[in-house]
């Protein structure tokens, strides 16, 4: 088990619950931006999908370092930039969103690559 991956997934999962709760209780009645609740929901959804992927990679003590880092930084950039945009109203934050989305996609390709090219340990 990889403790860093599992810790990161747990922390980001907790933050995802906090973000979902905030969005449900505060943004639903907020006059911030007309699209803020939908944008917030998208950020939360992508965060949780990739937290689960990161958690599943935590089972492995070796390998999957690149996909794990891509998921970690992808969540921070993709979801984080959308959260910052909604909270601040500054659309400049959305410049980071495509980089985060790209990292999330690269993470999935990294999993595919690990599955194809990773050496198996000899069977006992």
Q: What whole-number distance in Å separates Cα of residue 73 and Cα of residue 68?
A: 9
Q: What would the two tokens of residue 66 be?
A: 């690149």
Q: Give residue limits of the domains in the chain.
A: 3-117
Tell me the pLDDT band of 15, cut-offs 50, 70 and 90: very high
**For residue 123, pLDDT beyond 60:** no
Query: Vertex 47, ends 81 and 4: CA angle to 5°?
Result: 105
Summarize the confidence of residues 47-64 as an average pLDDT: 92
80 three-class SS: helix
Q: What is the pTM of this model?
A: 0.88
Q: What is the pLDDT of residue 121?
A: 58
Q: What whole-number distance in Å separates Cα of residue 107 and Cα of residue 103?
A: 6
**For residue 18, pLDDT beyond 60:** yes
Summarize the confidence of residues 69-78 as an average pLDDT: 97
């Amino acid at each position: 088990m990889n403790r860093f991956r599992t810790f990161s997934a747990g922390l980001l999962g907790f933050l995802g619950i906090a973000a979902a709760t905030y969005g449900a209780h505060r943004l639903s009645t907020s006059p911030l931006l007309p699209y803020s609740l939908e944008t917030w929901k998208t950020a939360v959804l992508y965060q949780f999908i990739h937290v689960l992927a990161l958690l599943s990679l935590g089972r492995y003590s070796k390998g999957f370092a690149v996909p794990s880092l891509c998921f970690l930084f992808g969540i921070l950039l993709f979801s984080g930039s959308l959260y910052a945009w909604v909270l601040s109203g500054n659309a400049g934050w959305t410049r980071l969103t495509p980089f985060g989305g790209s990292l999330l996609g690269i993470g999935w390709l990294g999993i595919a690559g690990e599955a194809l090219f990773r050496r198996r340990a000899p069977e006992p």
